């Protein structure tokens, strides 16, 4: 596991920080509409502002986009490359976790390179059931 990517928290604007904090507080991904819903309270937030903030956070590697759901979640890992992302998604409650993926991504990339293909972006979404949903009694205690 490496920590080579320096994440630019200090450079975030107040808007970007707010969107990041909203995503960090969630256990699952939020769509852009859900983010807009949460920031709308009492301020002058326009959807383009939210989209711009999301784009910047993705560029900074602080937030990932889940392709299948067109939804966003805060990054919980450090990456060799921001372009390799692997997630587990609970089909029951929607809880989403990010896996440490650098070793897997490197192996996949090498394997694909044997076929003369250059991978520039990879998002793997693994679907199943989280521990809480497998055994609600344990989670409740």
Residues that bind Zn ion (CB under 5 A): 75, 77, 90, 92-93, 95, 98, 130, 133
Q: In angstroms, what is the minimal distance from the CB of 22 to Zn ion?
A: 17
Q: Which is nearer to Zn ion, 45 or 87 (CB)?
A: 87
Confirm if 96 and 21 have CB atoms less than 8 A apart.
no
Q: In angstroms, what is the minimal distance from the CB of 113 to Zn ion?
A: 23
Q: In angstroms, what is the minimal distance from the CB of 95 to Zn ion?
A: 5
Confirm if 85 and 95 have CB atoms less than 8 A apart.
no
Tokens 């903030």 sit on residue: 53
Q: In angstroms, what is the minimal distance from the CB of 71 to Zn ion?
A: 14
Q: What does the radius of gyration of the chain's CA atoms come to, in whole angstroms? A: 17
Q: Which is nearer to Zn ion, 49 or 77 (CB)?
A: 77
Q: What's the CA gap between 39 and 45, in Å, rounded?
A: 7
Q: Which is nearer to Zn ion, 49 or 97 (CB)?
A: 97
Residue 120 CB coordination number (10 Å)? 7
Q: Which is nearer to Zn ion, 49 or 125 (CB)?
A: 125
Hey, what are 7's tokens? 């994440």
Q: In angstroms, what is the minimal distance from the CB of 62 to Zn ion?
A: 8
The strand ranges marked E within 1-141 are 30-31, 63-66, 71-74, 84-90, 96-98, 122-128
Q: Which is nearer to Zn ion, 45 or 64 (CB)?
A: 64
């Amino acid at each position: 596991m490496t920590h080579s990517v320096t994440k630019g928290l200090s450079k975030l604007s107040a808007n970007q920080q707010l969107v990041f904090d909203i995503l960090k507080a969630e256990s699952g991904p939020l769509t852009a509409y859900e983010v807009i819903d949460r920031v709308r309270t009492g301020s002058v937030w326009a959807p383009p502002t939210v989209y711009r903030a999301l784009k910047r956070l993705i560029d900074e590697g602080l937030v990932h986009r889940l392709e299948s759901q067109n939804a966003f979640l805060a990054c919980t890992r450090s990456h060799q490359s921001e372009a390799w992302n692997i997630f587990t998604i609970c089909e029951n409650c929607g809880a989403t976790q990010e896996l440490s993926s650098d070793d897997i991504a490197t192996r996949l990339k090498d394997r694909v390179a044997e076929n003369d293909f250059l991978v520039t972006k990879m998002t793997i979404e693994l679907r199943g059931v989280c521990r809480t949903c497998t055994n609600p009694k344990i989670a409740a205690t």
